[in-house]
Amino acid sequence: MNQNRNPGGASALSSDLPQDISALKAQIETLTAEKKAAEAKVIHLRACEDPAKGVFHNQEIFQAQQDKLRLDTEIVIRRNKIRRIELGME
């Protein structure tokens, strides 16, 4: 009754895993660098503000913070995917 769901067998699946995991880890590194850049941009924009002169960067700061949050989420998604692969759930 229980049919084999993986016609290629476990060896075909395990041969693809290191490539998938290494690709995900590379993406995490790239996303982490982008996140650090977004954080640095927020710090820079806040330092450049001058309320006395009416210089504000509200929209740019908000956008950089949104980017940072998006990148955080993308990193978590990839880490979770690595865990699922390692546990054999994918």
Structure confidence by residue, pLDDT tens digits, 50-63? 999 999 999 999 99
Q: Which residue has the higher pLDDT, 4 or 84?
A: 84
This prediction has a pTM of 0.73
Mean pLDDT value of segment 47-75? 96
Is pLDDT above 70 for 45?
Answer: yes
State the Cα–Cα distance between residues 27 and 23, nearest whole angstrom: 6
Partnered with residue 50 across adjacent β-strands are 55
| Cβ-Cβ contacts under 8 Å for 63 (sequence gap 6 or more) | none
- pLDDT, residue 90, reads 62
Per the listing, tokens 């996140």 go with 35
